[in-house]
Amino acid sequence: MSKVVVIDGGVMTMKSIFSWGSTKQKIVEGTLPKSTFLPPSSYTFFLMIIGSLKRIGINKEDQIILAIDNTTSWRKFFYSSYKGQRKEYRDSHKFIDWSFHYNLINKTIKQLEESTDWNIIWCPNLWNGADLALTEQGQELINESEVDLEKTYGTEADDVIAYSTKYYSDKEVIIISIDADLDQLCVRNNVKFFTLMTKYRGGTGTYKVIDNGYKVLSHKIEKGDKSDNIIPGETDDNSELAQKQRELIIDLINLPSFVEEKLKPVFDNLSNSQLILDKLPFQNSLAKKYLDIYKKDKIITYEDSVKRLERKKKKTKKKKEKQNGSKNINSEMAFNEKTNN
């Protein structure tokens, strides 16, 4: 049976740009030689995607979705401080021209849309503030005098990823990301999360094992999410209203109806495009590696990941037992020494 692989384009974009910036800084500061090869961020973007797909193991009948951010999220309307710290964080990286790299990667995404059989989903400008204020959630949670009713908003990659896990409920859906916000989606039996945070078997990426997605969700609603600048008592007043606002923007299992109503026709009308190898980006290098995603020699299975985690737990347990044993021996020696004296 075919599966659906959903790639978090926002994560891929940021990882590739930060990789470029980190290497550039090391070259400028002399940590790396000036002759060090520094590929464009768009090259790294495509390379990471190919590498991830190869480790998952793709069949030609599988569906690949690349979910793109590149818009002001509707969440910003309901929670004005949402991700508000990120511009300052980006600006702190003095070697990175963000506009340049965003444009570079967007051009590559456009090429991928024209040359692959992937579905690129990007949904900007779906609502203005007035539209959102008239929703059930807007009526309950928003004071219209405090928001911009003319500004436009769209969905972000998280929404596309979350909706795909529900839309394709009859298929296995594999998410490629590092974003822990997506852990909650593993409450659905058809969902697996392939994280890029882990090095394993000579490459990057392994499956996460999420015990309870609902617990992840309730914890984030209660405690907030520092990475998204949601800090109860700091970015809001931690009132009952603020908790409802946090729940609205954090809950990916139950997207609001106004979001699902916009995404459903997008998914209903996804095209069946064809792969055109001679139009892929980076014809002299990466394009030649594209078909490697169908090879089966580097696959990491979910079962491999479970076994890896079990081995890690056993190793940690043995280490603790050894440490506790050493402590007991030292305590006994100290006691005997004190007694003898």
Give the mean model confidence (pLDDT) for residues 176-186.
96
Lowest-pLDDT range of 55-64, 140-149, 318-327? 318-327
For 112-121, 255-264, 293-302, which range has the lowest pLDDT when averaged over its residues? 293-302
- CA quadruple 56, 60, 63, 67: dihedral positive or negative? positive
Residue 276 confidence (pLDDT): 97
- Give one DSSP letter per residue of 225-264, joined into a string: BGGGTB-TTTTS---HHHHHHHHHHH--SS--HHHHHHHH
What's residue 327's pLDDT?
Answer: 65
Kindly give, in sequence order, each residue whose CB lies less than 8 Å from that of residue 46, ignoring residues fewer than 6 positions away: 108, 112, 281, 282, 286
> If you average pLDDT over residues 272-279, what whole number do you get?
95
The class of domain 4-300 in CATH terms is alpha beta
Judge whether residue 336 has pLDDT over 80. Answer: no
- Model confidence at 321, pLDDT cuts 50, 70, 90, reads confident
Query: Is the pLDDT reported for residue 324 higher than 90?
Result: no
pLDDT tens per residue, range 230-240: 999 999 999 99
| Tokens 């024209």 -> residue | 114
Q: Give residue 202's pLDDT.
A: 86
Low-confidence winner among 144-158, 265-279, 315-329 (lowest mean pLDDT): 315-329
Whether 133 shows a pLDDT value over 90: the answer reads: yes
pLDDT-above-90 percentage for the chain? 84
**pLDDT digits over 77-99, tens only?**
999 999 999 989 998 998 999 99
Map out the domains of the chain as residue ranges: 4-300, 302-341
Between 298 and 62, the more confident residue is: 62
Q: Helices 41-56 and 98-115, interaxial angle, to 10°?
A: 50
pLDDT for 308 beyond 80: yes
The answer on pLDDT for 306 being more than 60 is yes
Starting at the earlier edge strand, list the strands of the sheet with 191-200: 119-121, 63-67, 4-8, 173-177, 191-200, 203-207
Tokens describing residue 23: 């290497």
pTM of the model: 0.91
Based on the number of CB atoms within 10 Å of its own CB, is 95 exposed (0-12), middle (13-18) or buried (19 or more)? middle
Q: Measured between alpha carbons, how far is 271 from 265 in angstroms, rounded to an integer?
A: 12
